[in-house]
Amino acid sequence: MKYFFKLIFFLFAILGHAQYAVKDIPESLMQEANAVIRQQEISITLNDFDSMTTYTKMVVTVLNRDGMSAVSPVAFYDEDSSVKDIKAFVYDSKGKQIKKFKKKDFTDMSVSDGNLYSDDKMMVMDYIPAKVPYTFEFISEVKSKSTAFLPLWNPSPIYGVSTQKSTYKIINEKEVPLLSKKYNLEQFRATVKETPGHYKYEVENIPAVSKEYLSPHYTEFTPIVKVALKEFRLFGQYVSVSSWEEFGKWQNEYLLKDIEDLPKETIAKIASLVAGVKDTKEKARIIYEFMQNKTRYISVQVGIGGWKPTPAKEVDKLGYGDCKALTNYTKALLKSQGIDSYYTIVDSGSSGLDIDEEFVAIQGNHVFLTIPLAEEKLFLECTSQRVPFNYMGDSTDDRKVLMITDEGGVIEKTPAYTTKTNSQKLTAQLTLKEDQSISGNLNEVTQGVLYGDKYELETIEKQVVHSYYKELWSHLNNLNVAESFFVNDKRNIIFSEKLTIEATNYTSLAGDRLLLMPNVFNRLSYIPIPKKERSQEVVLKRGKTFSDVIEITLPEGYSFEVGFEPITIHTDFGSYMAKVEVLNGSKILYTRDFTLNNGTYGKEKYVGFVAFINAITKADISKVVLVKNKE
């Protein structure tokens, strides 16, 4: 009998060590996966509105090197929280434990992330495996007195990673008032159990999702649960909000109050700068540019300072600050001249995410300033010394933001740049020589969000500028930008490039003929990969318009023989036109107009979009034939 019990013990031991064997992963979760989340558990225990403990367990099987980014053995904490427990285990492909890490094996370090200084810290471990596949198990427990931020549940957080099982629990036996928002749970057949004091959400077997070109933001099609307390503690402050109006009043009272005082000398300086200027918008422009010339951006994240701006007087003295400090400083400068403005919270980034109007909680990752004039609202990005007055760019355009007004928080929408305003217009006068080289002058004018891709060119070194154009027009052999001159019209937000260029071996020689591509510069070259089964809709975020007019003088002794018929393409996604004309015996004129419309299109239309881009790519390299004149 004792041998029987030994055998049972031995079998249990083997099973215990082999719980994460790769062979046990369902085949459906291996498809297109770089890693598999075998088990994810987030358990939040709310002891009260000012105390919570977060237990996290994450078990990830890494199938290849690309899947290593799914492993994140890190626990964050600050002066209001502490890491009570942290450990990790590594298993081989058969599920046998090969490594064990205790708290002493983790590195304790500051979270700098570009900050001048910060009291945010983390315990982290850097592990590089000898081979893949392997399984990494990470467990942490963090206790915090700040309850403003509860971890959200996102069981499918990374492209190319599948999830076998994920559980999210909230233990709230004191029934502290909660606000929750759920997304896409039904589509993934999530199990939801909500009883007084206990909430549990669970999902199983989510296949890996590959990142698709022009897809919506992943939060729009993955299961997510966001939870926040209606009453919470933030670095010693008790907060109770149930509407955006109340939220804004709290911000005004506790974070933005008594921080706008300025030195008398600075107020006098500003008054002298705007003296005699009657137009409020022009006054604001002058004040904004004063701020830009006086300050620079440096991030500061310390305690409540992570949310409360540095006082304007201190920024005025030091000459630097983070987005909150510089926005408040600009607000104070404007106020000194009787111009009202609103501290405005935004979720910045090119994806254009809105502040969630239905989820009253701390959101966003950036702030800027809104000036409410009678005829328009002005939006000022205060962290850049170079961005033009009232220019948003693709980081803050076309999305819902939260303005902190005197009456409280108000949801506002930032302007959207239109297809016409996002424009690039190129004109060029070039000469083609018999040795197949091409040279001449071009002028390119850019506006809208495309302006944001260009205006920094005037500040960088000539060698870097040259490298930029060589990469941009990599199809031009031995490109040399002999001269470059930039005009940054910040008042009208227009950027102009004036270049003198030359390149060799531009044409192809075929006997006594030259094959010439008249579209010398702006060509589409990237063709999206067609997919038989597209998962997501096609999202074209910002429409754009491109226009090229290129005059080419033909080589001496050559004349135009044959070209191509005008090319016209019209689709829901946009339009394209290209044509070539003979101006006289020695010149041709190439015209190209390309418009890309913004919009959201059904996934079944992706094939049509690929065909549209493919057709343009081919049209962009259309040739004309030049023939050598007979003597």
**Phi first, then psi: what are they for 119, rounded to 5°?**
-100, 5
State the residue for tokens 């002005």: 378
DSSP string, 355-419: P-TT--S---SEEEEEEE-SS-EEEE--S-SSSPTT---TTTSSSEEEEEETTEEEEEE-----T
Average confidence score pLDDT of the chain: 92
Per CATH, which fold does 241-413 belong to? C8orf32 fold (3.10.620)
**Sign of CA pseudo-dihedral 240, 244, 246, 249:** positive
Smallest Cα–Cα separation from 360: which of 145, 181, 168?
Answer: 181
Task: Please report, for the chain, the start and end positions of each structural domain, with discontinuous segments joined by +.
Answer: 20-234, 241-413, 423-628
Q: Which residue has the higher pLDDT, 17 or 35?
A: 35
Average pLDDT estimate for 261-276: 96
Under the banding of pLDDT at 50, 70 and 90, the label for residue 302 is: very low
In the chain, the amino acid numbered 382 is: C
Contacts 24+ apart (CB under 8 A), 261-265: 261/311, 261/312, 261/313, 261/332, 262/312, 262/313, 262/316, 262/332, 262/333, 262/336, 263/313, 263/316, 263/317
Statement: residue 313 has pLDDT above 70: yes
Query: Tell me, what's the pLDDT at 112?
Result: 56
| In the predicted structure, residue 482 carries a pLDDT above the cut 50 | yes
Q: Which CATH architecture is the domain 20-234 placed in?
A: Sandwich (2.60)
Q: How far apart are CA 499 and CA 443, in angstroms?
A: 7
Inform me whether the pLDDT recorded for 17 exceeds 70. Answer: no
- Mean pLDDT along residues 471-477: 96
Count of Cβ atoms closer than 10 Å to residue 387 Cβ: 22
Band (pLDDT 50/70/90 cuts) for residue 286 is very high
pLDDT in tens, 322-378: 999 999 999 999 999 999 999 999 999 988 899 999 999 999 989 999 999 999 999
pTM for the full predicted model: 0.90
Q: Looking at residues 28-35, what average pLDDT do you find? A: 95
User: What is the mean pLDDT of the segment spanning 69-89?
Assistant: 92
pLDDT at 110: 77
pLDDT, residue 237, reads 84
Tokens matching residue 255: 């974070």
**Parallel/antiparallel/unpaired status of strands 438-447 and 494-504:** antiparallel
The per-residue pLDDT for 507 is 94
Predicted pLDDT of residue 527: 81
* Common-topology check for domains 20-234 and 423-628: no
Report residue 7's pLDDT band, with 50, 70 and 90 as the boundaries: very low
Q: Lowest-pLDDT range, 32-46, 66-80, 566-580?
A: 66-80
Q: What is the C-alpha end-to-end distance of the chain, expressed in Å?
A: 111
Q: Which residues pair with 29 in a beta bridge?
A: none
C-alpha 230/C-alpha 297 separation (Å) is 33
User: Quick one: pLDDT at residue 115?
Assistant: 43
The model's confidence at residue 630, banded by pLDDT at 50, 70 and 90, is confident
Query: What does the pLDDT read at residue 9?
Result: 45
pLDDT at 114: 43
Structure confidence at residue 130 (pLDDT): 85
Alpha-helical regions (H) of 154-276: 244-250, 264-273
**pLDDT classification of 4: cutoffs 50, 70, 90:** very low
What does the pLDDT average to over 595-604? 95
pLDDT of 448 above 90? yes
Cα–Cα separations (whole angstroms), residue 440 to 110, 406, 621:
54, 57, 20
Helices 280-294 and 264-273, interaxial angle, to 10°? 130
Query: Which has more confidence, 529 or 160?
Result: 160
Among 50-54, 120-124, 245-249, where is mean pLDDT lowest? 120-124
Q: What's the pLDDT at 624? A: 96
196-249 pLDDT, tens digit per residue, is 999 999 999 999 988 889 999 888 889 999 999 999 998 788 899 999 999 999
Q: Is-contact 55 40, C-beta < 8 A?
A: no
User: 3-class SS at 169?
Assistant: strand
Interior/surface letters 231-269, b for 16+ CB within 10 angstroms, e for the rest: bbbbbebebebeebebbbbbbbeebbeebbebeeebbee
Alpha-carbon torsion 469, 474, 476, 477, what sign? Answer: positive
Closest listed residue to residue 178, CA positions, set 249, 248, 231, 251? 231
Cβ–Cβ under 8 Å, residues 543 and 596: yes
Partners of residue 579 on adjacent β-strands? 591
Topology at the third CATH level for domain 423-628: Jelly Rolls (2.60.120)
Report the Cα 323 to chain-centroid distance in Å: 17
Q: Give pLDDT tens digits for 503-546.
A: 999 999 888 899 999 999 999 988 888 877 888 999 999 999 99
